[in-house]
Structure 1
Amino acid sequence: MSEVSSWLHGQRIPVARETSPQRRGPERANRGGARRNPHMGMGYDLERFVGYVNEGLLCCVCRDVLERPLQAPCEHAYCAACISSWLIHHHSCPEDRLPLDISTLRPLHRYMRNDLSRLQIRCVNSGQGCDAVCCLETLHTHEDECPFALMPCSYTGCPVQVERRGLESHLSECEFRSRACPSGCGHTLLSVDQSQHNCVAELRTELELLRAEMLGKVEEVRCEMESRLDSQRRHMVQKESLLKSEVEDLKGQLSRVVCDVRALLGAERLRRQELAEAELEKRELLEMLRSLQPCRGQWNRDEPIRGLHQEDGPIRSQNLVEHPTRGLLREGPTHASTQSLPSASPTPALFPPTAPQPGEGSHKAGPRSITLDCIKRSREVTVI
């Protein structure tokens, strides 16, 4: 709090730095004047700064100038890397031993950050001859462009590190630089291998490598194709067995359908035969009806005569039952015709239907065939 109060009043009170190794931290105590890499994140070396540095801008762990500072609730400031390493094994402030957790850390106050950014610091490459002094805020920009910074060679295999200002000249003379073969074989050569390069041998070696690579790829493709063919073959065998079973099922269904069709065709033939017989009977009936039209007219003319014979009807009927042929012949053609024409009631009694001949179907014994036989026998009686 004393440092914060002195900042608020615009005063900077010099504070004597402790020399005890325990208070200076392990990095500072064991350094022994050695210069530290500024990118390690453990604070900036105090010896690099030009001018006075306030005690409040020093890390409480490493005792160097704050780098990426964080502040605790007790107002003590630390480098981010220092306090993170400290809190792994401790849970208190390294300065006043108050309880401390990493979640309670917060950024440094703005006025302290401004003072920290305005500090003048020498370039890290001052040992190589760089005499640049810049603000801490612009230090990283200068170090990224410093011509005295050591840069590794970009060629593979070269272990040399040179200053940025001499890197281009080194790349032009580096033994590990590569370029195309001047003989035109197409190989890229290093400067150290150019004297031992043999285009024919290199091309043969490359050819052998390509042949081996091609054979390997051919073998790989062959194995892949064989595996694929085996898989397809197994699939085709399964498909074939499945299709065979389906064909057998279809054959059974087809045989059943054929039997059904044959039965339907037989039924259709019987139906057509019955229809033809019915049509034939219909035509015969129509012809008989047309032939009976004259008899119906004669029946109407003989109506008065039929009234005269009603008295001896029972006697004549008895005679006809006893001697049907004699009675018909005695009465003559006129009486025979008058006895044969009354509707259909006497006709079946006088001439009962005969039994069907052998070979005729049972369907001919129906009502239509009986009616047809009655009409035929009526006609025979009429003719007689």
Structure 2
Amino acid sequence: MGYDIERFVGYVNEGLLCCICRDVLEDPLQAPCEHAFCTACIHGWLVHHSNCPEDRQVLDMSVLRPLYRYMKNDLNRLQLHCKNSEHGCEMVCSLESIDRHERECEYGQISCSNAGCPVQIERRNLDGHLTVCEYRSRECPNGCGYTILRVEDAQHNCVAELRTELELLRSEMICRVEEAKHEMESRLDSQRRHMVQKESLLQNEIEELKSQMSRMMSDVRSLMAAERQHRQELEQADLEKRELMELLKGLQKDCRLNNTEGNKKSANFRPLTRLESVKRKPREVTVI
């Protein structure tokens, strides 16, 4: 439904009226045939019809569009009275700002904020009503601290109310303890699973390190054995070297002695004649 045309000040263009309800357009939509409607009106119409209510051309929701900008501007500039004018509000404002005014209008009818109170009252009188509303809450005058409504005064029992509140608190506490217990158990289970996984990973790492250590020890033993063998070979080579050096020295000494004796024999040597050598040769053979 649109805005009641009687609320408007001055002339309202025919093009700004809804083709269905004939009131001033509210939240307008426009058909391709340029007829305009209130959104609520055209939605209700298209539930049972499939054409424009003005010229009967085929129409569905998918082709409806917002109002042309110049028409929207003309619509927003229209001046109208507040809907609470019959209660005393004299405000006249543009259609563009009327909703904001009516949400805050002092003459607007609102419900009492006290639970259970059926009174509808003007916003400007709400504070006065709350001070005398029989549904207003107040603290028990007997000192139990319980908040009561005036209509419940005759039925209020401090001891019973406190017991009820105590039972509620106890139930709430039990629920909270159970929730905390379940949460702690869930966290402990999660941490336990995490620790088991961590322990398994650490155990695997330890086994891997042990394996690496074993291989390293085996390599070290092999290197030490190779070093001992190498040292023995060096000692053997050194011993053989010394023996060779001693042998070499002995040979050099023998050579020097042989050279000395050879020199002496050379000094006493006289060349034999051919005849003498021939004569001596058989005798040497006979001796052999």
Q: Higher mean Cα deviation, 211-220 or 292-301? A: 292-301
Instruction: Confirm whether residue 130 of structure 1 aligns to residue 88 of structure 2.
Output: yes
Instruction: Confirm whether residue 212 of structure 1 aligns to residue 177 of structure 2.
Output: no
**Residue identity in the other structure for 2:185:** E
Distance 1:280 1:154, change over 3 A: same
Instruction: Confirm whether residue 169 of structure 1 aligns to residue 109 of structure 2.
Output: no
- 1:167 Cα offset (Å): 1.1
Spell out the pairing of 1:70-85 with structure 2 (5 A cutoff). Answer: 70-72=29-31, 74=33, 76-85=35-44
Q: Higher mean Cα deviation, 197-206 or 146-155? A: 197-206
2:57 is aligned, of 98, 110, 126, to 98
CA distance in 2 between partners of 1:265 and 1:117 (Å):
105
Distance 1:63 1:54, change over 3 A: same
- 1:184 Cα offset (Å): 6.2
**Residue identity in the other structure for 2:114:** Y
2:232 is aligned, of 273, 282, 305, to 273
Spell out the pairing of 1:22-33 with structure 2 (5 A cutoff). Answer: none
Question: Contact 2:26–2:39 (CA<8 Å) still a contact in 1?
Answer: yes
| TM-score, length-scaled by structure 2 | 0.66
Question: Contact 2:89–2:107 (CA<8 Å) still a contact in 1?
Answer: no
- 1:153 Cα offset (Å): 1.0
CA distance in 2 between partners of 1:232 and 1:197 (Å):
51
Question: Contact 1:149–1:163 (CA<8 Å) still a contact in 2?
Answer: yes
Question: Contact 1:44–1:65 (CA<8 Å) still a contact in 2?
Answer: yes
**Residue identity in the other structure for 1:78:** F
CA distance in 2 between partners of 1:109 and 1:237 (Å):
70
- 1:173 Cα offset (Å): 1.4
Question: Contact 1:69–1:108 (CA<8 Å) still a contact in 2?
Answer: no
CA distance in 1 between partners of 2:88 and 2:13 (Å):
26
Identity %: 56
Q: Higher mean Cα deviation, 57-66 or 249-258? A: 249-258
Higher RCO (C-alpha 8 Å, min separation 6): 2
2:67 counterpart residue number: 107
Deviations 1:105-145 (A, max 9, x none): 55268479648855655x43355x43747366365455345
Question: Contact 2:109–2:121 (CA<8 Å) still a contact in 1?
Answer: yes
**Residue identity in the other structure for 1:107:** L
- 1:226 Cα offset (Å): 3.3
SS at match of 1:96: coil
Structure 2, unaligned stretches of length 5 or more?
none
1:158 counterpart residue number: 117
How many residue pairs get aligned? The number is: 273
Deviations 1:206-245 (A, max 9, x none): 4443333333233233334334444555565566666667
Distance 1:174 1:272, change over 3 A: same
Distance 1:87 1:296, change over 3 A: same
SS at match of 1:302: helix
**Residue identity in the other structure for 1:217:** R
Question: Contact 1:153–1:162 (CA<8 Å) still a contact in 2?
Answer: yes
CA distance in 1 between partners of 2:233 and 2:76 (Å):
124
Distance 1:143 1:218, change over 3 A: closer
Structure 1, unaligned stretches of length 5 or more?
1-41, 323-384
Instruction: Confirm whether residue 223 of structure 1 aligns to residue 182 of structure 2.
Output: yes
1:61 is aligned, of 5, 11, 20, to 20
Larger-Rg structure: 1
CA distance in 2 between partners of 1:284 and 1:112 (Å):
125
**Residue identity in the other structure for 1:62:** C
Distance 1:159 1:115, change over 3 A: closer
Distance 1:300 1:249, change over 3 A: same
CA distance in 1 between partners of 2:244 and 2:188 (Å):
81
**Residue identity in the other structure for 2:18:** C
Spell out the pairing of 1:263-302 with structure 2 (5 A cutoff). Answer: 263-290=222-249, 294-302=253-261
Deviations 1:280-313 (A, max 9, x none): 343344345456655444333333356659x99x
| TM-score, length-scaled by structure 1 | 0.53
Distance 1:193 1:101, change over 3 A: closer
Question: Contact 2:106–2:123 (CA<8 Å) still a contact in 1?
Answer: yes
Question: Contact 2:2–2:26 (CA<8 Å) still a contact in 1?
Answer: yes
Distance 1:301 1:209, change over 3 A: same
SS at match of 1:43: coil
